[in-house]
């Protein structure tokens, strides 16, 4: 089984590239983030024509997550257990489903903006709710949380840690939240190095970040033991970040056996 995650940074703007990638990469399950559309506006007909069932969750022009599957979609849950609000509103940042016997969550963790911003405190509360959901769903089936975590797990996961200082994405509280997921039984299943030394997944559109490989590894796959033990290969599809009309994130792909 091939399971992937991709922050497409607008499914509408990226639809031609998404459809082409689904045909060439052929994931059985794809977790999407940053749809930037409502559930009703998701391009269901186009994706379904390629053989995918879709569970989408979008509440407006920002955020939005989805799971695409060729192996069935069951037990769909939109939103986390005890998920916090931001400015008194729920945001569409998490969706879970069971696909072919594997429980997956597509998550778009809040950015945090600035360590002094209310959004940063919201991010930490949101991550605590994610941990609670992981604990509540723990069982013997293969389980993984995939998506844009907006956290670089270590200093090696940013192109120059000196450029970040106390910026979001690299602070101790954010990394502690990832450690709490590990304490809950999950592990980062993407090995380093992969097919190149620094497997970044995100590069800013500005300042020639992608050509200079000034990136970050913030798109992650955190999985339980049964999922992790079935992983046979994993890669970041860096080529999908190239060219006109690309997302600022690249897809992350994991191949499993026996799942």
4-53 pLDDT, tens digit per residue, is 999 999 999 999 999 999 999 999 999 999 999 999 999 999 999 999 99
Is 119 annotated in some ligand binding site? no
Q: What is the mean pLDDT of residues 63-86?
A: 97
pLDDT band per the 50, 70, 90 thresholds, residue 61: confident
Pairing of strands 53-57, 29-33: unpaired
Q: Which domain holds residue 196?
A: 2-256
Give the count of domains, the chain. Answer: 1
In this predicted structure, the answer to whether residue 196 has a pLDDT above a threshold of 80 is: no
Find out whether 33 and 107 touch, Cβ atoms under 8 Å. Answer: yes
Is 239 annotated in some ligand binding site? no
pLDDT band per the 50, 70, 90 thresholds, residue 199: confident
Q: Could you give the residue numbers annotated as active site? A: 108, 148, 249
> Could you read off the pLDDT of 161-172 as tens digits, one per residue?
999 877 999 999
Distance CA 147, CA 4 (A): 9
Query: Coil, strand, or helix at residue 106?
Result: strand
Give the rounded distance of the alpha carbon of 54 from its chain centre: 16
Is 255 annotated in some ligand binding site? no
Domain with residue 110: its CATH number is 3.60.10.10
pLDDT given for residue 198 in this prediction: 63
Residue 211: exposure state from Cβ atoms within 10 A (0-12, 13-18, ≥19): exposed
pLDDT given for residue 60 in this prediction: 85
> Could you read off the pLDDT of 123-144 as tens digits, one per residue?
999 999 999 999 999 898 999 9
Concatenate the DSSP letters of all residues of 140-185 into one string: SS-EEEEEE-S--SSGGGBS-GGGTTT-TTS-HHHHHHHHHHHHTT
As a whole number, the mean pLDDT across the chain is 94
Spatial CA neighbour of 229 closest among 193, 195, 199, 185: 185
β partners of residue 3? 29, 254
């Amino acid at each position: 089984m091939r399971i992937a995650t991709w922050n497409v940074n607008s499914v509408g703007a990226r639809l031609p590239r998404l459809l082409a990638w689904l045909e060439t990469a052929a994931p059985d399950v794809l977790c999407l983030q940053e749809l930037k559309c409502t559930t009703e506006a998701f391009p269901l007909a186009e994706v379904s024509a390629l053989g995918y069932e879709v569970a989408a969750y979008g509440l407006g022009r920002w955020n939005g997550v989805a799971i695409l599957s060729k192996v069935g979609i069951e037990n769909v849950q939109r939103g986390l257990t005890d998920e916090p609000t931001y400015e008194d509103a729920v945001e569409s940042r998490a969706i879970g489903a069971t696909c072919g016997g594997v429980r997956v969550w597509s998550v778009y963790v809040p950015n945090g903006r600035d360590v002094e911003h209310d959004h940063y405190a919201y991010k930490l509360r949101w991550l605590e709710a994610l941990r609670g959901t992981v604990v509540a769903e723990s069982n013997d089936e293969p389980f993984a949380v995939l998506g844009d975590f907006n956290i670089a797990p270590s200093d090696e996961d940013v192109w120059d840690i000196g450029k970040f200082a106390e910026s979001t994405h690299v602070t101790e509280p954010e990394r502690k939240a990832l450690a709490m997921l590990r304490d809950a039984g999950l592990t980062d299943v993407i090995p380093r190095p992969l097919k190149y030394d620094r497997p970044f997944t995100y590069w800013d559109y500005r300042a020639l970040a992608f050509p200079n490989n000034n990136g970050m590894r913030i798109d992650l796959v955190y999985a339980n033991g049964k999922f992790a033990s079935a992983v046979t290969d994993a890669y970041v599809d860096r080529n999908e970040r190239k060219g006109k009309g690309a997302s600022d994130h690249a897809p992350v792909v994991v191949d499993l056996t026996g799942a």
